[in-house]
Amino acid sequence: MSSDQRRPSRRRAPVSAGAPRIGVDRVACSGHGICAQTLADVVGLDEWGYPIVADRPVEAKDADLAVKLCPARALYLRP
Amino acid sequence: MSNETLWYLSRATGLASITLLTLVVILGLLTSGRRRPFGERATIVMGLHRWVSLGMVAFLTTHIVTAIVETYVSIDWISLVIPFTSAYSPLWVGLGTLAFDVLVAVMVTSYWRHRMTERAWTAVHWLGYLMWPMAIAHGVALGTADQPLLRGTTLLCGAAGALALAWRLTTSYADRDRRRDILAGGWS
Ligand code: SF4
């Protein structure tokens, strides 16, 4: 198991009502690992650097930024 | 503003633009050619790639507008969009125009990336590899021969970009390699 491995943190920040959840297009994702930084609360990386996403809502503005910064355009929002 | 001020402003902002553009290109190459995930750095590189490119627009706009407005050399407004129309050094000014046109296309498609197919966005974004050498050639050719600082900076940018490009070419597609390694490792 490499030292890259990180699970989504257990810390839960309160989120507004109607906040989106994050989905990953597994085929498009090229494992840049940026979402694990921009959405550290809900995204961790597996040992190969691909995201593990917790099924919890996130603040819409954080989610938007993460979607924008994903180089592979693999992140999307779901209700 | 006096003509001389405009002239210097145009030189200075041109220099800033080529430096920032080169930085953006290098950051893009770093993102696409990274060898393995590198966490925070990947995020910073990606963020800078996006936001430095926006910052560059301010310098580039000033560079272009001042170059047209000052009357020391004659460049008309038409040369803003249509390449090779300038009375002054049509080829080299034209390359700058062409690079600007491509840059606008790259930036507009990136702004609306989420409304386009990935394939269309990628096709336009690839034009960046054409645009950057044109900007360098434009800078080297017009970078005022008696000012070694101007030309030197542009050449330095060219060298730095070429180095990053070489690095990018020697990495294979990182994600494909990783998927292959995972497969080779079996399902333990
Ligand atoms: S930022 Fe995008 S490409 Fe990178 S790991 Fe997350 S989903 Fe995949």
In chain B, the residue whose alpha carbon lies closest to the alpha carbon of A38 is B43
Among A6, A24, A68, which is best to mutate for testing ligand 1, by the most ligand atoms less than 8 A from CB? A24
- How close is the Cα of A74 to the center of ligand 1, in Å? 6
Is B43 within 8 Å of A69 when comparing Cβ atoms?
yes
Residue numbers of the domain that contains B134: 3-185
pLDDT at residue A6, rounded to an integer: 58
**A68–B contact, CB cutoff 8 A:** yes
Among A32, A42, A48, which is best to mutate for testing ligand 1, by the most ligand atoms less than 8 A from CB? A32
Among A25, A34, A46, A47, which is best to mutate for testing ligand 1, by the most ligand atoms less than 8 A from CB? A34
Q: What's the whole-number average pLDDT of chain B? A: 88
For the segment B85-144, what is each residue's pLDDT rounded down to a tens digit? 888 888 999 999 999 999 999 999 998 988 899 899 999 999 999 999 999 999 999 877
pLDDT at residue A1 greater than cutoff 70: no
pTM: 0.84
- B61 pLDDT tier (thresholds 50, 70, 90): very high
pLDDT at residue A5 greater than cutoff 70: no
Query: What is the average pLDDT across B34-50?
Result: 80
- B63 pLDDT tier (thresholds 50, 70, 90): very high
Rounded Cα distance between B158 and A4, Å, is 35
pLDDT at residue A49, rounded to an integer: 83
Rounded Cα distance between A13 and A33, Å, is 21
Ligand 1 contact via A67 beta carbon (within 6 Å): no
- A10 pLDDT tier (thresholds 50, 70, 90): low
- B58 pLDDT tier (thresholds 50, 70, 90): very high
Rounded Cα distance between B100 and B138, Å, is 11
* Shortest CA gap A49–chain B (Å): 6
Pick from B43, B114, B177, B188 the residue to mutate for testing the A interface (most A CBs within 10 Å).
B43
Amino acid at B179: R
Ligand 1 contact via A29 beta carbon (within 6 Å): yes
Rounded Cα distance between A20 and A15, Å, is 10
pLDDT at residue B35 greater than cutoff 70: no
**A45–B contact, CB cutoff 8 A:** yes
Is B31 within 8 Å of A33 when comparing Cβ atoms?
no
Closest CA to B79 of B70, B88, B71: B88
* Crossing angle of helices B3-33 and B128-142, rounded to 10°: 150
ipTM of the complex: 0.72
Contact A11, A29 (CB under 8 A): no
Closest CA to A36 of A19, A20, A18, A48: A48
Ligand 1 contact via A52 beta carbon (within 6 Å): no
Rounded Cα distance between A22 and A53, Å, is 7
pLDDT at residue A18, rounded to an integer: 81
Total domains in the fold of chain B = 1
Share of chain B above pLDDT 90, in %: 54
Closest CA to B91 of B153, B150, B134: B134
pLDDT at residue B64 greater than cutoff 90: yes
Q: Which residue has the higher pLDDT, B65 or B37?
A: B65
First to last CA, chain A: 33
> Which range, B17-31, B76-90, B173-187, is most confident?
B17-31
pLDDT at residue A2, rounded to an integer: 42
Is B46 within 8 Å of A31 when comparing Cβ atoms?
no
pLDDT at residue B56 greater than cutoff 70: yes
Domains in chain A, start-ordered, CATH in brackets? 3-9+19-78 (3.30.70.20)
A53's enclosing H/E stretch is strand A51-53
Query: What is the average pLDDT across B29-38?
Result: 75
For the segment A13-58, what is each residue's pLDDT rounded down to a tens digit? 667 778 899 999 998 998 888 999 999 989 999 888 889 999 999 9
Pick from A2, A37, A45 the residue to mutate for testing the B interface (most B CBs within 10 Å).
A37
Rounded Cα distance between A68 and B23, Å, is 20
- B76 pLDDT tier (thresholds 50, 70, 90): confident
pLDDT at residue B131, rounded to an integer: 95
Position of tokens 């990953």?
A24
